[in-house]
């Protein structure tokens, strides 16, 4: 498996096929699900650059607003900044700008979505609003579009995540492609819960009842207070070295429990693992580093991985802001100097042979053989047979 494949795992989960066709023009009313049980859960995440994270918030301080945006907008690539419509997701998919159309499902269903997302996060220290906050950090959840705006045609939603240190991205922009999801407010709500929670470091969970899942067929989903395995369609390790994931425990630790200001909180239950991926990787992050000997090192899922670029005939160098350092094909060697350092003015050998370089080719002429001698002629010609 090439390094590029390894490093693209989080992006590739965006490409899980939809069960519903997404063919609704922007602004049209979204279709209702064709039948009960039609579900779509390819709601993915893309890793962000850990070094761009803002200072952490106090999870027990003022509640973090989550702005549910039904109006669409123009988003630009960059470090996440909800107030300025900057999104690292755009950076990750290589788009400098994208326009998301407004939510087309009407007021009644919109209000159902707002209410449902409010219920999903009711026990945590956040506020749910569909009015854009005028100041301070907030997570923005954009409802609209079908994913093609970001080149993600078969995706229900997408969000940034910090898979290296599992920090909260409290000014994240996450997307819920409602035109690709059918008309169900419940489905849009559950995809929104997943995307928003990605910004709070929750991985995909191999547990059908939890909104972090790709699984279906178990009724409506809410965050589950159980230790679950991670994974999409099969169990795998969780990000950040977590041996398992408890959605409620992680969200409580990351964004705090809902509480009345001034009332002391009960002590938090400790999270199962003390995730220290940064330590496990010795300070190397996902973007990695190159050794002088051409060995690439990078941190992924809390583990330090290495690849000897030089051993495979490649060079270790910076690839992009999305991938970081990588093993890349060695640049072609510069054309060999056929003249061995000799210039146009040339030289004379001890036995009277003139040698000079012209158009990259070494030329020789045996002056002695033609009864001449090799000597300096002029600053224009250099050496010549005289």
The site for Zn ion (CB under 5 A) is made up of 43-45, 194
Interacting residues of 127 by C-beta distance below 8 A, sequence separation 6+: 63, 64, 65, 66
Give the CA distances from residue 250 to residues 157, 242, 257, 274, in Å, rounded to whole numbers and listed in that order.
21, 10, 11, 12
* Nearest-approach distance from CB 157 to Zn ion, in angstroms: 7
Whether the CA torsion 279, 228, 197, 22 is positive or negative: it is: positive
Q: Toward Zn ion, which CB reaches closer, 43 or 354?
A: 43
Kindly report the length of the chain. Answer: 386
**Taking a C-beta distance cutoff of 8 angstroms, is the pair 268, 250 a contact?**
no
Which strand ranges, in their side-by-side order, compose the sheet holding 73-77? Answer: 86-87, 73-77, 97-100
Ranked by CB distance to Zn ion, the top (closest) residue is 43
Q: Toward Zn ion, which CB reaches closer, 65 or 160?
A: 160
* Nearest-approach distance from CB 33 to Zn ion, in angstroms: 20
Q: Toward Zn ion, which CB reaches closer, 11 or 100?
A: 11
**What is the separation of C-alpha 130 from the centre of its chain, rounded to a whole number of angstroms?**
27
How far apart CA 164 and CA 275 sit, in angstroms, is: 10
* Nearest-approach distance from CB 44 to Zn ion, in angstroms: 5
Q: Toward Zn ion, which CB reaches closer, 166 or 327?
A: 166
Q: Toward Zn ion, which CB reaches closer, 222 or 314?
A: 222
Give the other-Cβ count within 10 Å of 384's Cβ.
19
Q: Give the end-to-end CA distance of the chain in Å, rounded to a whole number.
A: 65
Q: Toward Zn ion, which CB reaches closer, 224 or 384?
A: 224
How far apart CA 281 and CA 306 sit, in angstroms, is: 11
* Nearest-approach distance from CB 231 to Zn ion, in angstroms: 12
Longest Cα pair distance anywhere in the chain, in angstroms?
A: 109
How far apart CA 249 and CA 83 sit, in angstroms, is: 28
* Nearest-approach distance from CB 155 to Zn ion, in angstroms: 9
325: left (phi over 0), alpha (psi -120 to 50) or beta: beta
Q: How many CA atoms lie within 13 A of 223 on its CB side?
A: 26
DSSP reduced 3-state for 67? strand
Q: Toward Zn ion, which CB reaches closer, 43 or 141?
A: 43
Of 126, 214, 211, which Cα lies nearest the Cα of 172? Answer: 126
**Taking a C-beta distance cutoff of 8 angstroms, is the pair 232, 202 a contact?**
no
* Nearest-approach distance from CB 294 to Zn ion, in angstroms: 35
Q: Toward Zn ion, which CB reaches closer, 80 or 326?
A: 80
Q: Toward Zn ion, which CB reaches closer, 43 or 296?
A: 43
Token digits of residue 332: 């072609």
């Amino acid at each position: 498996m090439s390094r590029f494949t390894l490093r693209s795992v989080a992006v590739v989960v965006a490409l899980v096929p939809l069960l519903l066709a997404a063919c609704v023009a922007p602004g049209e009313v979204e279709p209702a699900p064709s039948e009960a049980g039609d579900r779509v859960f390819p709601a993915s995440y893309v890793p962000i650059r850990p070094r761009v994270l803002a200072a952490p918030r106090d999870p027990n301080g003022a509640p973090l607003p989550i702005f549910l945006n039904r109006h669409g907008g123009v988003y630009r690539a960059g470090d996440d900044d909800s107030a300025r419509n900057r999104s690292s997701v755009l950076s990750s998919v290589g788009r400098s700008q994208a326009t998301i159309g407004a939510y087309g499902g009407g007021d009644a269903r919109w209000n159902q979505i707002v209410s449902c997302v409010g219920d999903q996060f009711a026990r945590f220290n956040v506020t749910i609003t569909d009015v854009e906050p005028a100041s301070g950090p907030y997570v923005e959840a954009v409802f609209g579009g079908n994913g093609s705006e970001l080149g993600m045609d078969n995706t229900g939603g997408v969000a940034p995540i910090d898979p290296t240190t599992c920090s909260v991205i409290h000014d994240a922009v996450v997307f819920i492609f409602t035109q690709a999801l059918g008309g169900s407010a419940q489905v849009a709500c559950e995809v929104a819960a997943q995307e928003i929670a990605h910004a709070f470091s929750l991985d995909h969970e191999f547990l059908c009842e939890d909104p972090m899942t790709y699984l279906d067929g178990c009724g409506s989903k809410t965050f589950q207070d159980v230790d679950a395995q991670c994974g999409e369609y099969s169990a795998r390790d969780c990000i950040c070295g977590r041996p398992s994931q408890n959605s409620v425990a992680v969200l409580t630790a990351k964004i705090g429990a809902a509480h009345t200001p001034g009332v002391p909180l009960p002590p938090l239950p400790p999270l199962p693992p003390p995730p220290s991926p940064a330590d496990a990787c010795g300070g190397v992050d996902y973007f990695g580093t190159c050794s002088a000997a051409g060995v690439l090192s990078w941190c992924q899922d809390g583990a330090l991985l290495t690849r000897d670029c030089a051993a495979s005939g490649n060079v270790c160098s910076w690839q992009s802001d999305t991938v970081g350092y990588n093993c890349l094909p060695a640049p072609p060697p510069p054309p060999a100097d056929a003249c061995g350092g000799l210039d146009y003015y040339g030289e004379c050998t001890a036995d009277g042979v003139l040698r000079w370089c012209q158009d990259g080719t070494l030329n020789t002429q045996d002056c002695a053989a033609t009864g001449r001698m090799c000597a300096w002629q002029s600053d224009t010609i250099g050496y010549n047979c005289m």
